[in-house]
Structure 1
Amino acid sequence: MCDTDARLDGKVAVVTGGSSGMGLEAAKNLANRGAKVIIGSRNETKLRNARDEIITATGNQNVAYKVLDLGSLKSVRTFANEVNMETTIDVLVNNAGAVALPDRLTADDLNLTMQVNFFGAFLLTFLLLPKLRASAPSRIINGVAATMYVGHIDFDHWNDIGRYNFVSSLANSKLAVSLFNAELDRRLQNTCVTANTYDPFVVRDTNVLTNIPGVVQDVSRFFINVIGQRKEEVGKQIGYLASAPEMEKVSGKNYKFCHEFFNPWCVNNKELTKRLWEESKKAVKISKEEDWEARSVQVPLFG
């Protein structure tokens, strides 16, 4: 099902976490289809090397990088402002994420895992949405994980420290992404902008396990090496979701191995997803100047 010859010539694709792992492979796939690809991550040296690798592998010279630290809302805003200078934004892949980060608050007073895995992607998407809509038909692809099915969202405590272990922190952050995607899909009705999630299962040869304690990391790595997907396979799956003609009008779905997979049941709770949207706007401190929703009350931007 992942096989498609669809081209993206003249399109602009943004991939977070694009300097390594499955994000890098997704960027290669999109560049190979002719898209201008912009990759973002924290380390400029890795970004520069990744850009060169993508160009060498695909022959596409139209590859750029911009520093993006999802653990800093200031960095996210800077990245968004730079990307918004593009004529269009046709594909946004929110791929970046991390496991077993230190249990602490960021300088933005947010739980580090929640910010890196969810709040940063929420803010980036919110700031890019006007350009994504103006570029329609366009696509948003959000990365989730199987842990989301055991996640829990408590708006009074979702930024607490000392409350969650690294598994529950990951679960909560990925459930938040799934709920966000569901609300995004509802707000994007009739705009020709789609929002879908993808679950990469477990992936070999990535640095996602770096922060996990020694023995647990060794066991996890053995398990992943036995049953995990190759990062190139995940890149191919993301490329399919971003380009396949048959996906142009599909939205609000979750995909695993390029097949539709079930969402957490709570994505159907419209009150919950709406509250998550509003609470997230507060958490990332959307300013009056940034809040295009407030400015579009009389002439709705969506629908």
Structure 2
Amino acid sequence: MPRTIVITGASDGIGAAAARQLHDAGETVVVVGRSAEKTRAVAESLGAPWHLADFAELDQVRALAQTLRETYPRIDVLANNAGGVFGERTLTADGFERTFQVNHLAGFLLTQLLRDRLIESGASVIQTSSVAARAFSRFDIDDLQAERRYTSSTAYGNAKLANILFTTELARRLGGRGVSAVAFHPGAIASGFAGSSTGLWHWMYTNPVASRLLTSVDVGGSRLAWLALGTPGVDWQSGKYYANNRPARTSRLAADPLLARRLWEKSAELVGVGAD
């Protein structure tokens, strides 16, 4: 029986590639994106349902969660894949630093609002993280909005580390209720995810010569699809971080259970949901 797999950030890049691969594997894919034109195009090519949400606006995330709850009696996999790296420090309409909100806080909120459905379904929650969590993060639990220290690379690395910390804490809190969680690095992907950034990030992902050194979206998408198709506890272990379909090293802070708990509690407070 096909499973229902919700993929955010699926209008292009590895999200769109994974959606195609999972559809070809016989699964029911729900395509979520920010751009109506691109999201519709991906979904219609698959004959799949689609929904819109800009993760820079948390009210859109709340509306998305309500629609998903009303529309899908089961959600077997939730892939929190939406994200990006940006340029100068800016605040969203919700008052949060944009990189932190789009990459972590919005996915945290969506997962919390779908919590009961995920428990009922015995779901897997997949977080698209990055090797940047180890390479660029300077994580400060008391400066999540990067008010004291900001560069686009540091903000992105911190957000990707937050993805891993969220994964470990989600596995700890809901593992006993049938929910599994995993984070992964898709590779340095030749996609447009850094189109809004500046400097080296923008050059690396938009320069035709540099882009030849990057991994294709199909390969990156296959790493998401591998986790979505896999069986937790057999193919991969809940609460862990993967790269190239294998357990991988990341920041030493990712193994700090107190830090993971504090991030969860602070995130819950920021978006106005319970911290239990």
Structure 1-normalised TM-score? 0.84
1:53-68 maps to which residues of 2 (within 5 A)?
53=45, 55=46, 61=47, 63-68=48-53
Q: Deviations over 1:53-77 (max 9, x none)?
A: 2x2xxxxx3x111111111110000
Are 2:272 and 1:285 equivalent residues in the alignment?
A: yes
- Equivalent of 1:29, from 21, 24, 33? 21
Are 2:128 and 1:143 equivalent residues in the alignment?
A: yes
Cα distance in 1 for residues equivalent to 2:272 and 2:75 = 24
- Equivalent of 1:254, from 241, 245, 248? 241
Cα distance in 2 for residues equivalent to 1:70 and 1:173 = 14
RMSD, matched Cα: 2.0
Cα distance in 2 for residues equivalent to 1:70 and 1:38 = 17
Cα distance in 2 for residues equivalent to 1:185 and 1:107 = 31
Q: Deviations over 1:20-63 (max 9, x none)?
A: 0110011111212222211112111111111122x2xxxxx3x1
Secondary structure of the corresponding residue to residue 175 of structure 2? coil
Could you say if the C-alpha distance between residues 278 and 216 of structure 1 is closer, same or farther in structure 2, counting changes exceeding 3 Å? closer
Q: Which residue of structure 2 aligns with residue 181 of structure 1?
A: 167
Q: CA contact under 8 A between 1:194 and 1:249: conserved in structure 2?
A: no
Are 2:72 and 1:80 equivalent residues in the alignment?
A: no
1:223 positional shift: 6.9
Letter in 2 for 1:266: L
Letter in 2 for 1:65: W
Are 2:32 and 1:45 equivalent residues in the alignment?
A: no
Q: Deviations over 1:170-213 (max 9, x none)?
A: 01111111111111111122223210111012011x11221233
Comparing 33-42 with 171-180, greater Cα deviation is found at 33-42
Secondary structure of the corresponding residue to residue 100 of structure 1? coil
Structure 2, unaligned runs of 5 or more: none
Could you say if the C-alpha distance between residues 151 and 201 of structure 1 is closer, same or farther in structure 2, counting changes exceeding 3 Å? same
Q: CA contact under 8 A between 1:105 and 1:161: conserved in structure 2?
A: no
Q: CA contact under 8 A between 1:104 and 1:111: conserved in structure 2?
A: yes
1:202-213 maps to which residues of 2 (within 5 A)?
202-204=188-190, 206-213=191-198
1:233-252 maps to which residues of 2 (within 5 A)?
233-245=219-231, 247=234, 250-252=237-239
Q: Which residue of structure 1 aligns with residue 155 of structure 2?
A: 169
Are 2:6 and 1:14 equivalent residues in the alignment?
A: yes
Are 2:75 and 1:89 equivalent residues in the alignment?
A: yes
Comparing 251-260 with 87-96, greater Cα deviation is found at 251-260
Are 2:264 and 1:272 equivalent residues in the alignment?
A: no
Q: CA contact under 8 A between 1:148 and 1:172: conserved in structure 2?
A: yes
Letter in 1 for 2:30: I
Q: CA contact under 8 A between 2:167 and 2:181: conserved in structure 1?
A: yes
Letter in 2 for 1:76: V
Are 2:122 and 1:130 equivalent residues in the alignment?
A: no
Letter in 2 for 1:237: R
Q: Deviations over 1:201-245 (max 9, x none)?
A: 2011x1122123367633454575343211111111111111124
Secondary structure of the corresponding residue to residue 74 of structure 2? coil
Could you say if the C-alpha distance between residues 199 and 249 of structure 1 is closer, same or farther in structure 2, counting changes exceeding 3 Å? closer
Structure 2-normalised TM-score? 0.91
Q: Which residue of structure 1 aligns with residue 100 of structure 2?
A: 114
Letter in 1 for 2:50: Y
Q: Which residue of structure 2 aligns with residue 228 of structure 1?
A: 214
Cα distance in 2 for residues equivalent to 1:218 and 1:262 = 27
Letter in 2 for 1:261: A
Secondary structure of the corresponding residue to residue 84 of structure 1? helix
Q: CA contact under 8 A between 2:166 and 2:264: conserved in structure 1?
A: yes
Cα distance in 1 for residues equivalent to 2:86 and 2:214 = 19
Q: Which residue of structure 2 aligns with residue 69 of structure 1?
A: 54
* Percent identity of equivalent pairs: 29
Q: CA contact under 8 A between 1:253 and 1:263: conserved in structure 2?
A: no
Secondary structure of the corresponding residue to residue 227 of structure 1? coil
